[in-house]
Copies of this chain bind each other. A is one copy, B any other.
Amino acid sequence: MSKISFKNDYSEGAHPYILEQLGKTNLEQQSGYGDDEYSEHAKALIQEKTGNLDAKIYLTSGGTQANLLVISHLLRPYESVISANTGHIAVHETGAIEATGHKVNLVNSINGKIDLQEIRETVISHNDEHMVKPAMVYISNATELGSVYTKAELTELSDFCRQNNLLLFMDGARLGAALTSAENDLTLPEIAQLVDVFYIGGTKNGALLGEAIVFIKKGLDAGFKYHLKQKGALLAKGRILGIQVLSLFQKDLWLQLAQHSNTVAEKIAEAFKVRGFNFFIPPQSNQIFPILPNALVEKLHEKFDFYTWYKVDENHSAIRIVTSWATKEENVEKLIECISNR
């Protein structure tokens, strides 16, 4: 790949500290399948950081896996999960949830965030055994469009779910980016109080692979380790998840890395704004969606890799620029320069 890529936040390997830790511990003998000391240590640290020492934590290798594991574990066969129509499980997981037997009820999203009013209507309309029984609400934070939930929004959603006997599950593949967004007013312990289960993503935030699933509501995790094994998600060398997640949480490295990706994204967004471009979605984290003239899109494509997201009109398209913990300042400068000299 000779072009500079702003396609996603998983184009590079791991933060050097993580590789260093993998190297340091490499020849130690450790128990397999997640019973190693590093996994235990990582879990204890996450319990502490979420402010919930009773939280039950499981490490797994990727986001789609985390989603299908949690959802199929928590739903009875005839129960469904409600998702925004922009939700990752609704669009970009090749029917992974349906493959475990469950319907995803779609509701509209507002800037990538789920529309509570439509959840209400879905719950009301699903009132007998001829329809699935909605039993969970799935949200992503940051969302698939880079937006983040406010404390007020999440609280309102949480209240609704508890009143209506719906589990609330937060996909945190980019939770670091959410928590370090300029728009964020939530803390990790607050999130842990408002949702029933969530996961914290490592893969898109500096790890080779690794997501930490956190069950908050008591008893929800009963039997979950069987589930991990059955779905092929229990790595024999579980230590590699433990070591990576531990490394990310020590000294809050995951938040530092996420902060970097947000900071450079903001810098790029600012450059677009200064030149008078609008955005498909207001930029809030490390994914931004400027609307550009097609000529500029083509020009950018000569040097940079990114997705064209949406055709706005004959002459304009929204593109997606994603930054990561590893995005180099020099590449940001090159991109900004390319926007300016047009």
Residues of A within 8 A of B (CB): 1, 4-5, 7-8, 10-14, 16, 19, 22-23, 25-33, 37, 61-69, 72-73, 76-78, 80, 91-96, 98-104, 106, 129-133, 203-204, 208-209, 223, 225-237, 239-240, 326
Question: Is chain A's interface secondary structure helix, strand, loop, or mixed overall?
Answer: loop
Say yes or no: B29 contacts A94, CB within 8 Å. no
Say yes or no: B130 contacts A229, CB within 8 Å. yes
Residues of B within 8 A of A26 (CB): 12-14, 16, 19
Contacts A99-B101, A237-B209: A68 and B232 contacting too (C-beta < 8 A)?
yes
Say yes or no: B1 contacts A31, CB within 8 Å. yes
Residues of B within 8 A of A72 (CB): 77
Nearest chain B residue, comparing its CB with the CB of A23: B19
Instruction: Out of B7, B229, B236, name the residue touching A129 (CB < 8 Å).
Output: B229
Nearest chain B residue, comparing its CB with the CB of A80: B95
Say yes or no: A203 contacts B236, CB within 8 Å. yes
Complex CA–CA separation, A25 to B13 (angstroms) = 8
Copies in the complex: 4
Instruction: Out of B98, B133, B203, B232, name the residue touching A233 (CB < 8 Å).
Output: B232
Say yes or no: B208 contacts A237, CB within 8 Å. yes
Given A13-B239, A64-B229, 10 additional A-B pairs, CB 8 A: A13-B26, A13-B27, A22-B208, A62-B234, A77-B99, A80-B95, A94-B226, A96-B232, A99-B102, A209-B235
Complex CA–CA separation, A78 to B225 (angstroms) = 10
Residues of B within 8 A of A65 (CB): 232-233
Instruction: Out of B1, B99, B228, name the residue touching A230 (CB < 8 Å).
Output: B99
Residues of B within 8 A of A68 (CB): 231-232
Say yes or no: B11 contacts A30, CB within 8 Å. yes
Most chain B CB neighbours (cut-off 10 Å) among A26, A91, A130: A130
20 contacts between A and B (CB under 8 A): A1-B29, A1-B31, A8-B32, A8-B236, A10-B236, A11-B30, A13-B28, A13-B240, A27-B326, A61-B235, A69-B232, A78-B223, A93-B130, A94-B129, A94-B230, A99-B101, A99-B230, A133-B223, A203-B236, A203-B237
Min CB gap A171→B, angstroms = 13
Min CB gap A119→B, angstroms = 17
Instruction: Out of B23, B69, B96, B104, name the residue touching A229 (CB < 8 Å).
Output: B96
Residues of B within 8 A of A99 (CB): 77-78, 101-102, 230-231
Say yes or no: A230 contacts B95, CB within 8 Å. yes
Say yes or no: A227 contacts B77, CB within 8 Å. yes
Most chain B CB neighbours (cut-off 10 Å) among A68, A72, A223, A232: A232
Say yes or no: B4 contacts A29, CB within 8 Å. yes
Most chain B CB neighbours (cut-off 10 Å) among A13, A80, A227: A13
Contacts A73-B77, A106-B106, A129-B229: A32 and B13 contacting too (C-beta < 8 A)?
no
Say yes or no: B225 contacts A129, CB within 8 Å. yes
